[in-house]
Structure 1
Amino acid sequence: MQIICLEDEAFYALLNEVTTYLDKKNKHEDKWVSQKEAMRLLNVKSKTTLQNLRDEGKIRFSQPQKKVILYDRASIEAYLDKYAHNTFNLK
């Protein structure tokens, strides 16, 4: 058995690196989201509205099986950003 000793700063730096890596990895796994999650992200209640966004090409989707439709999280975020309004800059 081999024992490795680290100083406090080195240990916490390593812990921070591992946490950052795991956060990035988890975000990568969420590239495609379900219909329910897409509706939650877009704050829509109707499946028809979601289908219209898909049919009009406003959000990307993938259909790996006949009844399974997944939505691209990045395209949903891009759609929301496109219609975002900046706040007024009052000076």
Structure 2
Amino acid sequence: MQVVCLQEEAFYALFDKVIDHVEAKRRDMPDKWIDGEEAMHILRIKSTTTLQKLRDEGKIRFTQPQKKIILYDRDSLNEYLESYARETF
């Protein structure tokens, strides 16, 4: 086993680079919960009524943390689309 000695300044510089790298990776990940506008964009629909119908029928997951705030689960939207995917011949 090798022991690596670093000066304090070099250690903190390396530590800062690791933190920056981890934060950059985290920013690249899309949010799990999205608003109605983004949900409609993913589903390629233009009507909020259609989005509400999908929600009311239990076809997509949602959360309502406040009365006028409804967020949709990105994974459930993708699962909904996949459920209607047709296999090629």
- TM-score, reference length from structure 2: 0.71
Residue 62 in structure 1 maps to residue 63 in structure 2: yes
Matches within 5 A, 1:1-91: 2-3=9-10, 18=21, 22-23=24-25, 25-26=26-27, 27=29, 30-88=31-89
Shift of 1:22: 3.8
Aligned AA for 1:36?
E
Aligned AA for 1:78?
E
Structure 2: 5+ residue stretches without partners: 1-7, 12-20
- Residue 14 of structure 2 corresponds to none
CA distance in 2, matches of 1:57, 1:36: 19
CA distance in 2, matches of 1:55, 1:2: 57
Q: Could you list the per-position Cα deviations for residues 36-70 of structure 1 after superposition, in whole angstroms to 9, with x for gaps in the alignment?
A: 00000000000000000000000000000100000
Structure 1: 5+ residue stretches without partners: 5-17
Q: Could you list the per-position Cα deviations for residues 9-58 of structure 1 after superposition, in whole angstroms to 9, with x for gaps in the alignment?
A: xxxxxxxxx47x844x232x500000000000000000000000000000
CA distance in 2, matches of 1:30, 1:78: 16
CA distance in 2, matches of 1:85, 1:45: 23
- Between structure 1 and structure 2, the one with the greater Rg is 2
Please state whether the residue corresponding to 1:79 is helix, strand or coil: helix
Q: Share of identical aligned residues, percent?
A: 54
Number of equivalent positions: 74
CA distance in 2, matches of 1:63, 1:38: 14
CA-based RMSD: 2.3
